[in-house]
Every structure is written in C-alpha cells, then in structure tokens.
Amino acid sequence: MTWKRLRWIKIPVFLLCLVPVALLIWKGFQQDLGANPIEFITHATGDWTIRFLCITLAVTPLRRLLGLPDLIRFRRMLGLFAFFYGCLHFMTYLWLDKFFDLSEIVKDVWKRPFITAGFLGFVAMIPLAITSTTGWIRRLGGRRWNLLHRLIYVSACAGVIHYYWLVKSDVRLPLLYASIVGVLLAYRVIAAQIKPARVRPARDLTPAS
C-alpha cells in the first residue's frame, strides 16, 4: 500500500495522541483528580512526556524490524507530542507549583539535581521542536539536522534520571523507563556497528599484525 492511501491514518493517530490530555481535562471537570490534583496533573503530564519520547525513539527500530519504512511519516508528530506534554509538565511546575516565582525556580534548577535533570531534558527538546519543519531540514542540511536531532537522546536520558531521582524508594517504574530507553539507544549503537562492518569486509579479513 502506498503512503498516499495511508495518509488519512495521521488524523486518528493525532487524535489518539490527544487522548491523555483530554482525559485529564475530563477528570478535572469531574473533580476526579484525587486529593492532590496538582500533583496528579504534574505526574500525568510527566508520564506522557517520557512515554512519547520512548515512542518517538521506537520509530526508527520499528521501521526496520517491522519492515514499515513509512512509519517515518509519524515521527515528527510523535516527537512534537513529546514536546507538547513536556510543555504542559513544565507549565504545571511553573504555574501551579511555583506560581511563576522566578527566584524560587532558579534556586530549584540550580540546587536540586532532579529538577536540573528535568529542566535539561525539556530545554533540549526546544531546538528540536523549532527545527522540526521541512524548511529547517533544508536550511540545515540532512546531515547537520540529523546530528542536531540526536539531542533527543539527551532528553530521554535526562527524563529517566529526573524520574529516578524524584521517587523516594520504589524505583520500579523509573527502572522500567530506563531499560526501555536503554534498549532503544542500544539498538542504534548496534545498528551503527553492523552497517560499517558490512561495507568494510576486506579490512576485517586482513590478518592482525
């Protein structure tokens, strides 16, 4: 099936990506966000940021493993959704937790490693969101653009560390995300190792001196 015929799938996928925030709003109206609604919102938006980062990072491996190269057409949208939930998460902190108290925020980012990590992960996504357009890919050139967009590795790692440092003692979930990100990054390392090996068989065959 050609991409043209599959194009319409983007719309339901887009709507699907909005479900978490829609649910949050719905629960908010139902007064169903529990005893500490602001904490609930903070955790939900944070969870979905790291989940979308993982989903975005899974696109490249899945394309090859499933033989579905057209999956690339969803990557920008998924990455932008990671940024979208990251923005909501950051705004919740900025507004509902700190009430825009800038000195408090600077102190937090500076003094508290888990906030530093989260902030770093968020900031690293900003240039990626800005340069996500076709125009920017052309302006930067594919090679440089690809290099820049490796910043998502920083975001994902920082996100996992942020989560791990946040929890008090039960580290099961942070470790789960750490292993998912680990596998997705390890895939890239291995894939990069395999490819050059294939193009340079001759050198590999030369006996070691």
Partner 1 sequence: MPPDRSSIIEDMLVRKSPDIRYSEVTPKSAYLNRRRFLSTLPLAGAALLSSRAYGAVKLSAVKGPYSTTEKPTPFIDVTTYNNFYEFGTGKEDPSKNAGKLKTSPWSITVEGGATKKQVFDLDAIMKMAPLEERIYRHRCVEAWSIVVPWIGFPLNVLIKAAEPNPKAKFVAFESLYDTKQMPAARWAGIPFPYIEALRMDEAMNPLALLCFGMYGQVLPNQDGAPVRLVVPWKYGFKSIKSIVKIKFVDREPPTTWNLANAHEYGFYSNVNPTVDHPRWSQASERRLGEFLKRKTLMFNGYGDQVASLYTGMDLRKNY
Q: Which of residues 91-110 bind partner 1 (CB under 8 A)?
A: 99, 104, 107-108
Q: What backbone torsions phi and psi does residue 178 show, to the nearest 5 degrees?
A: -60, -40
Residue 130 CB neighbours (<10 A) = 10
How many residues in the shown chain lie near partner 1 by CB under 8 A? 24
Taking the complex as a whole, the smallest distance from the CB of residue 16 to partner 1 amounts, in Å, to 24
Distance of CA 14 to the CA centre of its chain: 16
Comparing CB distances to partner 1, the nearer of 40 and 187 is 40
Taking the complex as a whole, the smallest distance from the CB of residue 133 to partner 1 amounts, in Å, to 38
Q: Which of residues 120-159 bind partner 1 (CB under 8 A)?
A: none
Site mask for partner 1 (CB under 8 A), range 32-61, x = bound: x-xxx-xx----------------------
Comparing CB distances to partner 1, the nearer of 34 and 196 is 34
Residues 6+ apart with CB under 8 A from 110: 116
Binding site for partner 1 (CB under 8 A): 30-32, 34-36, 38-39, 99, 104, 107-108, 111-114, 165-172
